Structure 1
Amino acid sequence: MRILHAVRSDGFAGVERHVADLARTQAADGHEVLVVGGDPAAVRRVLGPDVAHRPARRTADVARALATWGPGCDVVHVHMTAAEVAATLAAALRPALRRVPVVSTRHFAGPRGSGRPGPAVAAVARRQVAAQVAISRYVAAHVDGAATVVHPGVADGPTEVAAAADREAVVLVVQRHEPEKDGDVALRAFAASGLAAQGWRLELAGAGSQTEMLRDLAAELGMGATTRFLGHRDDVPALMDRAALLLAPCRIEGLGLSVLEAMAAGLPGVVSAAGGHLETVGALDAPELLFPAGDAEAAGARLARLAHDPARRDELAVAGRRLQQKHFSPRAHAAGTEQVYREVLARRAVEVA
């Protein structure tokens, strides 16, 4: 099968990583895959030598790429509203593209379009879309239109992981520093846990518009000396290998790749009981890992409890790894996506006949 993935982006965050991981697995399955969009260096590093890549910083760049290479594909798979709009524009430029089904992955819980031009943008965006994939049941319940749930997967972690007793006294947060991520809840939770006075550190990997605000909050909470802002990191697996606990406070996470990566690494995560977290950590029999969204005091209490119970952390590490390997693997992700493709192609064949 010839597959073209497209996202309008010159960055590399959760969506771009999702696209690159899926494309690499599809290529390993014997498909011919092209990826359009995303930071070229970062995307190519994940894709490896078997998947072609073309940059696309603007919607017009995506439209041109789709018009050029899309007609030769069996499926065009777009990610995010801008790429959907590009598919509609490309079909206007190249009528031959209208015969190629467009599958769209919905990554965020909400309808297309925002602001005053939202309805018009949404109408253009969905015009060419033949089927939708949602990354979680939570996302599927909040998007416009029907969607098939296909959970993303992450690569399995190392065969052996460090025992809880051998890990550093570190609570790790891996996310962008943006308002929707609830970074302030993470800082207040660590403060409420009392772990700083016991030699523990809070480490935040990521960057964004709220970095300085979070630095100021850490100082205000008296945690300046025990909080490390690591910035954007390319060595997150290494950070997870040595940390004792992950903290994921975002209440609207579509699924949470960093949480899945932590599970693969044998790193228990204390997460908000909301969004896609309920489909990952929430699938474990471990209520001590979930806290009411936005409740820093409750999150802090859970951190403190687990910090003093390495045996339980080891049990949770085993359970998390098993769940990730069974339900959130790249192979399961690619298989579920291919099933959507084949259903769309079968419908298209009937329509043409």
Structure 2
Amino acid sequence: MKAAQLTKYAKNYQLELNEIDVPTINDTEVLIKVKEAAVNPLDALIGTGSLRLMHHYQLPQTMGNELTGEIVQLGRSVTQFNLGDSVYTRLPFHQIGAFAQYVAVDASAIAPLPSNLDFKTGAAAALTGLTAYQGLHEILAAKSGQTLFIPGGSGSFGQMAIPIAKALGLTVIVSGNAQAKERTLAAGADQYFDYHTQNYWELLSDVDLVIDTLGPAELEHELSIIKPGGQLLSLIMGPNGAFARAQHMPLLQRILFGLNGRKLDQQAKKAGVTYHFIFVRSDGQQLRAISKLIEANNIVPAVDSKSFDLTEVNEAQAYLANGHPRGKVLIHFDDTVSD
């Protein structure tokens, strides 16, 4: 089969299209024929070597974190799925490989494709859905009655996070562009700020929880609106010592992550806020819970109209980085790439 592989960590890395064996499965795994694979910023973090402190992949490494596909082989112990089932998944971080025609993955990491999604829209749901679910349920331990603010939450993450937050009983406030206002309010947001005309930090205060999607440049503003004892969860600012401890990392990594995140921790502490970082793990049971919310709220993740196949994987990654896509960028698998 063909697979897009990382052969060298580099700032301007390029993936190589190689011919490799179709993976064999063990008793608890399934073999998936990939239909769509999503391109994510996470791929670039891996390819540039930015995440080597967390996990050093043995190169060459087939890339890709998120996919939809059809089960074509079942391990002997797998009973909750059948041949031909349509599924979606965020692959385990240590066993990525969505940019390939076939993927072997433990059955515990996958879930049936939501009934209102197809292979394309389903490929845009797993990673953002799990990010929102784990962030709100596990890291922030959000409680009914609290207020959540998502700066820059009008995109794909907010689309998944808003209904999950509302199901927990939260008041949800979002900032974003004017074009996304009605869509975001229709998804369940209680209040919306147009960042072109409104400065949320001049209008908000005493917020319990903030989920950051914008990065370090926004930190001062985000901290200023959180009440003492509140929490800030960032998707992109970077890990700290608490993250390393929660991940049960070895002592050296805990020390290094602690040093790396010390400035963030100090700024948060000065504001009376707890800082968190999230790195999303695979979890099929959580995906099933997310599927119920997707179906109940008829959530259909946005997918960019530009189409790529596996031979164009580097172009797809460049487009994600610089092309201003309107929705998830996908790698489509069909007869254009032979088995």
Calculate the TM-score normalised by the size of structure 1.
0.32
Identify, as 1 or 2, the structure richer in strand.
Answer: 2
From the CA coordinates, give the structure whose radius of gyration is larger: 1
Identify, as 1 or 2, the structure richer in helix.
Answer: 1
Calculate the TM-score normalised by the size of structure 2.
0.33
